[in-house]
Amino acid sequence: MTLWQAIVYGVVQGLTEFLPISSAAHLRIVAAAFNWPDPGTAFTAVIQLAIVVTLLLYFWHDLTQIATAMLEGVRTGRWFTNHDARLGWMIVVGTLPIMVLGLAFKKHIETSLRSLYIIAVAEIGLALALILAEALERSRVRAGTKLKEMREVSWPDTIVVGLAQCLALIPGASRSGSTITGGLFVGLTRETAARFSFLLSLPSFLGAGILEFIHHHHELLATQGAGLNLVFATVVAIIVGYAAVAFLMNYLKKHTTWLFIIYRLALGVLLLALLANGRLKAF
C-alpha cells in the first residue's frame, strides 16, 4: 500500500463510517475499482480507532457526564437512578451482542463475508429496512404518537438497537445505518437514533481496534512505510470523520434518511451489474 492509497482509505473510512452507507463496503469497492490492495479487516479495524477519537471529540460533553454519573452511581450503590448513569450502562449492555458475535464469527467476517456480492446485497437489504423504518416513523407522526428523545430511551429500546448493531458485522450493512434503523423502529427521533447509535458504537470500535492491533501489529508495523501509512490514514479519518458526524447530526434534525436509501439502492444495483458483466471481481 502506498502513502497515497492509505490517505484515500482514511478519507473513505472517515466519511463513510458515520454516514449510513457502510465504510467496510466502500473500502472494498475502492480497492476493487482501482485494483489496489485490499486494506483488510485488521487495517480497517485499527484506523477505526480514529473513529473513537472523533466520537470522543464530538460527544465529549455527553461522555464526561455519562462517565461521571456512572462512577458516582457505583460509589453510592445507586447505579441506575441518574439518567446519564443509566444511559452509560445501556451503552455497555447494548454493546455486548456485537462483541460476542464479532468474536464468534471473526473468521467469516475477515474472509467470506468480504465478497462484493454480499456487500451489494447488504447495501440493498438495509436500504429496504430503512424504507420500512421511515414508513413506520411517518405513521407514528400521523397518528400523533410522540417520538422518543434521548432521555426516554428504555432498556427494551437498547436491546433492539444493540441487536440491530450486529448487522454491521456484515460488510455493506453499515454500523450507523443498522443502529439508526433499529432506533427508528423503536420510535426514537432521527437525531436521537443517530446520537444513540454513535454513543453505542464507541466500545465496540475501541475493542475491535485494540484487539486487531494486538493480533496484527507485526504485519501492520512491518516496515516504517507501513506504520506511516497507518498513522496518516488514522489522522485523515479523524478529520474527515468529525466533519461527517457534524453533517449527519445536523442533517437528520430536518431531513429523513431517504438520501441514503436511494444511494444504497443505486450502489447495490450498480455493484451487482458490474459483478455480473465481469467488470468487478467478488474477491
* Residues 72-93, mean pLDDT to the nearest whole number: 90
The answer to whether residue 268 sits within a structural domain is yes
Whole-prediction pTM value? 0.89
Residue 41 pLDDT grade (very low, low, confident, very high; cuts 50, 70, 90): low
Looking at the 3D structure of the chain, how many domains does it have? 1
Lowest mean pLDDT among 19-23, 101-105, 239-243: 101-105
Lowest mean pLDDT among 30-44, 134-148, 219-233: 219-233
pLDDT for the residue numbered 160: 96
Cell 462517565 belongs to 67
The answer to whether residue 217 sits within a structural domain is yes
Judge whether residue 146 has pLDDT over 90.
Answer: yes
The answer to whether residue 13 sits within a structural domain is yes
Judge whether residue 65 has pLDDT over 80.
Answer: yes
Tens of pLDDT along 157-197?
999 999 999 998 998 898 899 999 999 999 999 999 999 99
The residue ranking higher by pLDDT, 270 or 211, is 270
C-alpha closest to that of 281 among 108, 120, 41:
120
Rounded Cα gap, residues 185 and 242, in angstroms:
27
The residue ranking higher by pLDDT, 228 or 148, is 148
Residue 69: domain span? 3-276
Q: Decide: 258 and 19 in contact? Cβ < 8 Å.
A: no
The answer to whether residue 183 sits within a structural domain is yes
Lowest mean pLDDT among 130-144, 215-229, 254-268: 215-229
Tens of pLDDT along 188-245?
999 999 999 999 999 988 887 787 777 766 666 666 677 788 888 889 999 999 999 9
C-alpha closest to that of 248 among 19, 53, 62, 22:
19
The answer to whether residue 31 sits within a structural domain is yes
In angstroms, the first-to-last Cα distance of the chain is 17
C-alpha closest to that of 123 among 77, 78, 177:
177
The answer to whether residue 63 sits within a structural domain is yes
Q: Output the average pLDDT for the chain.
A: 89
Please write down the long-range contacts of 55-62, taking CB distance under 8 Å and 24 or more positions apart.
55/198, 55/199, 55/201, 55/202, 55/205, 55/245, 56/202, 57/238, 57/242, 58/198, 58/242, 58/245, 58/246, 59/195, 59/198, 59/199, 62/195, 62/199
C-alpha to C-alpha distances, 114 to 160, 171, 232, nearest whole angstrom: 25, 6, 24
The answer to whether residue 282 sits within a structural domain is no
pLDDT for the residue numbered 229: 82
The answer to whether residue 113 sits within a structural domain is yes
